[in-house]
């Protein structure tokens, strides 16, 4: 307690009780709560200064603090020590290079310095300097090693110009461990797709990928937390693999694992959020444009007490250590298991679109992996077909090579069989089915439609199907949907001249029944 500085109000109280009222140290201790040793120290200082009470009582708190709490001047350090300390900032930067150690730096220093410190003294002075310059930094991050990512707790807002509705946006932060170059972006949510998009944008901002990515235990990154072996989200793991990174989730209750990104979050509040408050933004693009402007300024501002910035440090010692980015961006994939139909196609039910596979796989269960632009089809881990994703429903994407083996297989489905089954109902149905098949580039593309059309004979009646085929033939429409629409609207029961085009269904149209 004797070595601790006390509040100026208590110091004034001590002097007033001791000098003006001549109270003893025991009573002063009981009144102020300050130890007798500390009280005696300050009273002794007062007497040595020989300042009258009237003059002392007029001093401000700042003047009183300077008078009684001035630290004694430290002796000037030796010249060799000053020269060593001048080398430490550059050594600190070199410590972030892969494979660099303090021992290597000492050997280099001792070989180039006449009156060099021994290894123990060198280590002691480096740690002493490190403790003064970075009192809270305990971890050394190697260049190109890790990127730390997280979301901020606070959010930003955009305002819809049309409705005035206020929408809150999440804010993503990424930071490279060695150079501390930072990336910040606003995004609509923290879901898996948005999180991966932000991580990918950060990599493109940095111009390369580190060896590892360190997320906090977000659901978008870690499906199940575990101290020893957490379960990584499959899409996030695939994203990391696409860019040649490994995922190292921050350990729960280990604040050092994520101290850098938490520091970056605090800095973003100070350097970016405060600059954005009080301004209105009407789109996510506009908000991110302003974030980037302040982010660039932050990354190019020199560190406190340093002559270089995050961007300088990144360009000098980390940029060249990052992995090159692949030419294609990552695309999230989903997968479903389906059975190959007799026409040699599989159906991606999400789009109701059909894709061809080699005929040898008819009847087998295969897996479809699909992204926004691509469809890959696998059988027992073997890629058997690849197509561009098409979202038009009830249509086919067919490769001629897949259909080339058709004649080599004895299949129940073939054009002749469908036409013969249709002729058994009526020759007009047979003619219609022949047209349905002929309109397709590959006959196999029409098999599902033919099967569906012929099924109406059992589901409704042969007579109505015959009339529907005649009606559709007169109109020139040859597909399953045309027959289905005719039967649903009972158009097969009218002569073609009697048909009045029906009003479209709409919630704002009352219809003829309303007026009866």
Q: What does 5-65 look like in DSSP terms, one character per residue?
A: ---HHHHHHHHIIIIIS---HHHHHHHH---HHHHHHHHHHHHHHT--HHHHTTS-HHHHH
| Domain end among 265, 299, 321 | 321
Task: Let me know whether 179 and 302 are in one domain.
Answer: yes
- Look up residue 52 and give its two tokens: 């009258």
Question: Would 216 be classed as within a structural domain?
Answer: yes
Residue 183 confidence (pLDDT): 94
Task: Let me know whether 200 and 252 are in one domain.
Answer: yes
Task: Let me know whether 173 and 254 are in one domain.
Answer: yes
CATH number at residue 181: 3.30.420.10
Task: Let me know whether 257 and 312 are in one domain.
Answer: yes
Residues spanned by the domain of 461: 415-498
Question: Would 507 be classed as within a structural domain?
Answer: no
Question: Would 77 be classed as within a structural domain?
Answer: no
Q: State the residue for tokens 């494979």.
A: 99
Task: Let me know whether 423 and 391 are in one domain.
Answer: no
Task: Let me know whether 269 and 346 are in one domain.
Answer: no
C-alpha distances in angstroms, 20 versus 16, 52, 54?
A: 5, 11, 10
Question: Would 107 be classed as within a structural domain?
Answer: no
Q: Which residues of 65-100 are buried (b: 16+ CB within 10 A; e: fewer)?
A: eeebeeeeeeeeeeeeeeebbebbeebbbebbeeeb
Q: How many domains does the chain have?
A: 4
Q: Are 208 and 324 in contact (CB under 8 A)?
A: yes
Residue 165 confidence (pLDDT): 87
| Domain end among 378, 408, 438 | 408
Q: Are 11 and 68 in contact (CB under 8 A)?
A: yes
Residue 508 confidence (pLDDT): 44
CB atoms within 10 A of CB 372: 9
Residue 270 confidence (pLDDT): 84
| Domain end among 321, 356, 373 | 321
Residue 385 confidence (pLDDT): 92
Distance CA 53, CA 19 (A): 7
Instruction: Identify the three-state secondary structure at position 156.
Output: strand
Contacting residues for 148 by C-beta, under 8 A, at least 6 apart: 174, 175, 177, 214, 250, 258, 260, 261, 264
Sign, CA torsion 341/344/346/351: negative
For residue 353, list its beta bridge partners: 348
Residue 515 confidence (pLDDT): 35
Residue 357 confidence (pLDDT): 92
C-alpha distances in angstroms, 217 versus 187, 214, 408?
A: 19, 9, 55
Within 300-439, residue ranges assigned H as helices are 310-317, 400-403, 415-425, 427-438
Task: Let me know whether 462 and 346 are in one domain.
Answer: no
Task: Let me know whether 34 and 167 are in one domain.
Answer: no
Distance CA 262, CA 272 (A): 15
Residue 229 confidence (pLDDT): 64
Closest CA to 469 of 460, 478, 461, 488: 478
Task: Let me know whether 272 and 316 are in one domain.
Answer: yes
Residue 293 confidence (pLDDT): 92
Question: Would 361 be classed as within a structural domain?
Answer: yes
For residue 376, list its beta bridge partners: 369, 386
Question: Would 127 be classed as within a structural domain?
Answer: no
Residue 161 confidence (pLDDT): 81
Question: Would 88 be classed as within a structural domain?
Answer: no
Global confidence as pTM: 0.51
Q: pLDDT in tens for each of the 516 residues of the chain?
A: 445 667 777 888 888 788 777 788 888 888 778 888 888 888 887 777 777 777 777 777 777 777 777 655 545 567 788 788 888 888 877 776 666 788 888 888 888 888 888 888 888 888 777 766 654 444 567 788 888 988 988 899 998 888 888 899 999 999 988 888 999 999 998 888 888 899 999 999 999 999 888 887 777 777 666 665 667 788 888 888 899 998 888 765 455 555 777 888 888 888 888 888 878 888 999 999 999 999 999 999 888 777 788 898 899 888 899 999 998 888 888 889 999 988 788 999 888 898 999 888 888 999 998 888 889 999 987 889 999 998 888 888 888 788 655 444 445 567 788 888 888 888 889 899 888 888 877 777 778 788 888 889 888 888 889 889 988 888 888 888 888 888 988 888 877 655 444 544 544 444 444 434
Question: Would 97 be classed as within a structural domain?
Answer: no
Task: Let me know whether 459 and 310 are in one domain.
Answer: no
Task: Let me know whether 49 and 154 are in one domain.
Answer: no
Summarised one tens digit per residue, pLDDT across range 344-364 is 889 998 888 989 998 888 889
Closest CA to 215 of 199, 191, 194, 197: 199
Distance CA 463, CA 468 (A): 9
Task: Let me know whether 276 and 252 are in one domain.
Answer: yes
């Amino acid at each position: 307690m004797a070595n601790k500085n006390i509040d100026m109000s208590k110091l004034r109280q001590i002097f007033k009780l001791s000098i003006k009222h001549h109270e003893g140290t025991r009573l002063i201790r009981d009144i102020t709560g300050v130890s007798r040793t500390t009280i005696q120290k300050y009273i002794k200082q007062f007497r040595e200064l020989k300042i009258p009470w009237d003059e002392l009582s007029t001093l401000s708190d700042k003047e009183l603090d300077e008078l009684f709490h001035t630290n004694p001047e430290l002796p000037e350090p030796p010249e060799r020590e000053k020269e060593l300390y001048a080398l430490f900032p550059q050594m600190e930067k070199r410590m972030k290079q892969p494979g660099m150690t303090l021992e290597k730096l000492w050997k280099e220093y001792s070989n180039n310095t006449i009156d060099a410190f021994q290894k123990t003294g060198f280590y002691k002075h480096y740690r002493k300097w490190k403790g003064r310059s970075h009192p809270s930094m305990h971890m050394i991050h190697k260049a190109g090693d890790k990127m730390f990512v997280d979301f901020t707790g606070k959010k930003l807002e955009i305002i819809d110009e049309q409705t005035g509705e206020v929408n809150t946006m999440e804010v993503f932060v990424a930071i490279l461990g060695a150079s501390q170059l930072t990336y910040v972006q606003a995004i609509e949510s923290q879901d898996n797709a948005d999180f991966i998009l932000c991580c990918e944008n950060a990599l493109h901002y940095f111009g390369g990928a580190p060896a590892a990515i360190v997320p906090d235990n977000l659901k978008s990154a870690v499906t199940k937390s575990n101290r020893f072996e957490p379960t990584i989200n499959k899409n996030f793991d695939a994203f990391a693999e696409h860019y040649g990174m490994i995922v190292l989730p921050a350990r729960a209750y280990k604040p050092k694992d994520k101290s850098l990104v938490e520091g970056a979050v605090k800095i973003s509040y100070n350097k970016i959020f405060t600059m954005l408050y009080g301004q209105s933004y009407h789109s996510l693009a506009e908000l991110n444009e302003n974030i980037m402007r302040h982010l660039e300024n932050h990354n190019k501002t020199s560190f406190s007490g340093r002559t270089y910035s995050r961007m300088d440090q990144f360009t000098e010692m980390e940029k060249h250590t990052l992995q090159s980015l692949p030419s294609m961006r990552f695309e999230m994939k989903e997968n479903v298991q389906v059975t190959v139909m007799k026409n040699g196609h599989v159906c991606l039910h999400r789009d109701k679109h059909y894709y061809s596979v080699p005929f040898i796989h008819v009847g087998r269960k295969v897996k479809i992996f699909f992204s926004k632009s691509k469809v890959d089809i696998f059988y027992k881990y073997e890629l058997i077909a690849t197509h561009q994703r098409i979202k038009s429903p009830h249509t086919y994407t067919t490769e001629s090579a897949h259909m080339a083996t058709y004649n080599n297989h004895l299949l129940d489905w073939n054009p002749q069989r469908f036409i013969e089954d249709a002729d058994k109902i009526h020759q007009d149905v047979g003619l219609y089915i022949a047209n349905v098949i002929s309109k397709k580039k590959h006959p196999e593309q029409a098999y599902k439609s033919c099967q569906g059309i012929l099924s109406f004979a059992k589901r409704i009646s042969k007579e109505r199907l015959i009339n529907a085929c005649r009606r559709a033939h007169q109109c020139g429409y040859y597909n399953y949907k045309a027959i289905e629409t005719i039967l649903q609207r009972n158009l097969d029961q009218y002569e073609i001249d009697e048909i009045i085009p029906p009003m479209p269904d709409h919630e704002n149209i009352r219809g003829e029944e309303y007026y009866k």
